[in-house]
Structures are given as structure tokens and as C-alpha cells.
Amino acid sequence: MKPVSNFTFTTVSEVKEGSYVLVDDEPCKISSISKSKPGKHGSAKARIIAKGVFDGRRRTIVKRVDERIKEPLIRKRRGQIINVRGSRIQLMDQETYETRETSMPKEEGIKKKIEVGKDVEYWVISGKIKIMSLHS
């Protein structure tokens, strides 16, 4: 059976602020892009500043605008919190009823509202899970 890839490729010239790319194999949200004009002996370059989805670290990369860059595949799912144990949260997917475990979100607005029985939207990116929002 052929393994499923967790990313696709696109050219640097096609990515936009707010989209997601893989930088050092970490999914990141692009916060800014600046492009330079081509020089006498070179091609145009793009400077991309992005923030890690899971670790919050700022990353900067510089690439030619015609180079390919990896975009992570993001699966947006809905689930319900069925257990909270310290910094670990157990979720049950609302479609497949599969249970998954993830860490407590770092965002204070979400973190303080976490409780058993709450519905959440979570994203699966490169095999990792992140709770993005809570629903009533």
C-alpha cells in the first residue's frame, strides 16, 4: 500500500499571508511575505516570516519565487472532550467516534474554557493534533 503524503507542493510565488507552509518540517502560518526584484544575474527572491502552529516559534526562510515549497494538508475535524488529565486532553471524533489524545492548547482564551463535554474544532496536521476553537 502506498503511504499517504501529509503535504502538497506549490511555488513560492503562489503562497499568501495567512496560508500554511512547512518550514523545517514544522507546519507554520505565514505572517508576512516580501519579494525582491530580480537582479542582473539572479532571480527574484521571497522572504517568508511564519509562526509555528504547534510551538509558536517564529521562522524565516528566503527562497527564489520559482522554487517549490511544501504546504501541509490540514484536516479540520469536530470532536468532544471526554477527559482532561493534567496537560493532556482526550477527544472523541464526532464522525468516526475515534478517540485521540493531544496536549493542552497554549492559547489562554481556549485553555481556560477546556472542560469535559465541550465540543471543539481540532486540526490534524502532519499527524499532530491541535485544538483550534471551542463550540457551545
Same domain, 92 and 106: yes
Contact 30, 17 (CB under 8 A): yes
- Are 23 and 66 within one domain? yes
Given pLDDT bands bounded at 50, 70 and 90, which one contains residue 4? Answer: low
**pLDDT tens sequence across 45-63:** 999 999 999 999 999 999 9
Q: Which residue has the cell 493531544?
A: 102
Give the N- to C-terminal CA distance of the chain in Å, as an integer.
40
pLDDT in tens, 13-22: 999 999 999 9
| Full residue range of the structural domain in which residue 125 is found | 74-135
* Same domain for 64 and 80: no
Is residue 41 in some structural domain?
Answer: yes
In this structure, the answer to whether residues 121 and 85 fall within a common structural domain is yes
Please tell me the pTM assigned to this model: 0.84
For residue 69, count CB atoms less than 10 angstroms from its CB and return exposed for 0-12, middle for 13-18, buried for 19 or more. Answer: buried
92 located within any domain:
yes
Contact in structure between 11 and 1 (CB atoms under 8 Å): no
Which residue, among 11, 8, 65, has the nearest Cα to 34 in the 3D structure? 65
pLDDT in tens, 63-90: 999 999 999 999 999 999 999 999 999 9
Final residue of a domain: which of 48, 72, 96?
72
Q: What is the pLDDT of residues 91-113, one digit of tens each?
A: 999 999 999 999 999 889 999 99
CA distance 109 to 116: 16
Q: Which of 38-42, 57-61, 132-136 is the least confident region?
A: 38-42
| pLDDT above 70: residue 131 | yes
Three-state DSSP class for residue 14: helix
Identify the CA nearest to 81 among candidates 123, 114, 128, 104: 114
Torsion of CA 91, 57, 16, 12, to 10 degrees: -110
Q: Are residue 66 and residue 78 in the same domain, yes or no? A: no
Co-location of 41 and 15 in the same domain? yes
In a domain, 1, yes or no: no
Quote the number of domains for the chain.
Answer: 2
